[in-house]
Structure 1
């Protein structure tokens, strides 16, 4: 089966977490919105019994699966991107849900008041939110993943193979380095295991071609945005 992935064109966003799993797993898919933005709006407007709320969503035959963690749960079980046992699959899903909490908080740094308003309309609250995020939330989340790796070993689910949660943590590190380079430079000496995981994912043979291709979209106006005034040591 060739899956249809639907996500906004031009930004990596939440869709990138799904792309990384599809690419690393060697899973055939079409990045439909990159073929036509108009097609995405038309597909979103289709009458469905179980419609997606918003991209990303994955069409797999008769299944339409929304929400990043839900899509990855499906791919993980079907394509061996997560442990085979139930406890292991639930653990990786828990890791992914925690990652998505961090992603949501990173987004809300530059949009703390209203999603529909421009960043320039909420700079004051964003400065306050950014300071809290840098000083408290980033070390809390990343420190927890560091401890998990201390317990589990090289990969978040233990064992000798990566899971989709490892790919997602790689993407978070990439995004935080882009959005908060000064803060990450301060934190990373205390996050040796997280940094090692990032390097290990970047070195995966299955991802090398994708990561160096133009299919890998750069950061910009998506979830992870770099505003120098929001960064700090």
Structure 2
């Protein structure tokens, strides 16, 4: 790049920063050691998806010049497809399920590769819901695992205010009394009420891309979520 073009590029970057906008940089202009990788994964029991965002200290990064992302899930290596989300590049893979931990690779044509980043995923699980009547509480049961990260229980329905409960440990069971399910301002239901009960387990991590250089990093958030129906007979 000529001096004039280089000066113009930095003027554009400064102008965007001054307007409060995050410029999108092409990966040809970003060193691997400065890259910020953000990985999110969700398995909701019906399908799964993995999304990766590539960033830098001054904004999002578009992979160019043959640079590419790959994930290896259950022994199969897949390329990630690039799209757009809120004006920034995002790389995605759609799957039937996430059976366990997977690997992320960033391959670059003119810089250092990143291979074998392990993304920890909670184990798949099943859940049941029993109750809820005037005499019985809502009893939830699921496969417990103390290594599966943060556990959040959510109960929703037209007849209640949404209830969200974070658990300090994965006990595999939660009992909710009727008094904990508050009716909306319109009052309690007068007929059987359909509820949706969700349990999510999420593992989050943050690590340096290279142990010898703390500049770049990778953050991950992988979630297993299950949702079932229940009936409240008030």
TM-score, with length taken from structure 1: 0.22
In proportion to residue count, which structure has more strand? 2
In proportion to residue count, which structure has more helix? 1
Please identify the structure whose Cα radius of gyration is greater.
Answer: 2
TM-score, with length taken from structure 2: 0.22
